[in-house]
Structure 1
Amino acid sequence: MKRGFEIVSKYQDKNLNLPYRSTNHAAGYDFEAATDFVLPSIWKGNFLKVLWALRHKQAVSETDLLNGSKDLKPFLVPTGIKAYMQDDEFLLAANRSSNPLKRNLILPNGVGIIDADYYNNDSNEGEIYFQLINMGLRDITIKKGERIGQGIFMPYLQADGKDEHATKRVGGFGSSGK
């Protein structure tokens, strides 16, 4: 088996679909939400107050900025899916082209990188999540089975020599960067 998808154990009996290509020449595999998920609007809470204060050149405390940034945090939408691949490959997690236009949903990091050693890690079995921010005015309910993003298998190259900083993965989501 070179590359593909599996359902993580906690979703085995939840009737999930494995990612799929929607057309014969599609590069990306469409991922669906594993559960219903409410994605709050960024326009709630302290975010508007901080913007108003900044616009009107009023003093904004560090506390206000920190509380404002909580309103901008991405939410992790579960897919219930893990991906296996060759050691010299990764899965590029990308937004669907319709998400920003039709639903005001963005990936705050632009793309996500799922490394080959993320598969079956001890922390979360390698479950793939899509980080999303709702830029719309109202909360959005993503229904189970709705397409939320796409994944593209990609090869990568390594520099000559041994990378002395590389270690064995010991965690799940976000564990390779400290």
Structure 2
Amino acid sequence: MKVRGFEKITKYAAVEFSMPERKTQKSAGYDICLPEDIELLPGKLQLVPTGIKAYMQDDEYLGVHIRSSIAVKKHISLVNNQGIIDADYYNNADNEGHIMLALLNMGTEPVALAKNERVAQGIFYKYLVADGDADIDKAVRGGGFGSTKS
């Protein structure tokens, strides 16, 4: 039985790129690399593909964070500071659960990000729920970025 991890989405199945991994035994985050070269234009928000999806337990989510070296050295931010990937996003019908990074180039020059560059990191978290939310199953998962419909 799969507990938690990462897989390539179908579109990137034949593309060779590094899958998320922790670099040290005590690292909390799994480094997320890019599957292709990307250029980020100054002052622009761009959705950047990762080529991956994540699976996890029902009471977990994947927090996606920008790597500090990318933020400081290249003036790039993750526009929502932390992306939250819910367990039911995996294999959704709209986009197969493809994790996209909403990146903002805060600099004045274009920034090139290379294929296999470690741009973000994912950390799996457990979460708690409030009393009385048993009827929550009525919501329907869409494709992402504000996609939950009720």
What's 1:68 paired with? none
Which shows bigger deviation, 134-143 or 152-161?
A: 134-143
> Is residue 2:18 matched to residue 1:17?
yes
Letter paired with 2:19:
L
Equivalents in 1 of 2:138, 2:35: separation in Å? 31
TM-score (norm. length: structure 1):
0.78
CA shift digits 1:94-121 (9 cap, x unpaired): 1101122111001111101000000000
What's 1:148 paired with? 119
Q: Is contact 2:139-2:149 (8 Å) kept?
A: no
> Is residue 2:82 matched to residue 1:81?
no
5 Å-filtered alignment, 1:1-178, equals: 1-42=2-43, 72=44, 74-164=45-135, 166-174=137-145, 175-176=147-148
Letter paired with 1:95:
I
Structure with the higher strand share, 1 or 2: 2
1:176 offset after TM fit, Å? 2.0
1:145 offset after TM fit, Å? 0.8
- CA 1:132–1:177: 2 relative to 1, 3 Å: farther
Unaligned runs of 5+ in 2: none
Structure with the higher helix share, 1 or 2: 1
Structure 1 runs (4+) deviating above 6 angstroms are: none
Equivalents in 2 of 1:118, 1:159: separation in Å? 21
Equivalents in 2 of 1:134, 1:169: separation in Å? 33
Equivalents in 2 of 1:130, 1:97: separation in Å? 15
TM-score (norm. length: structure 2):
0.92
- Tell me how large the CA RMSD over aligned residues is: 1.6
Q: Is contact 1:123-1:170 (8 Å) kept?
A: no
Identity among equivalent pairs (%): 47
Q: Is contact 1:121-1:169 (8 Å) kept?
A: no
Q: Max radius of gyration: which structure?
A: 1
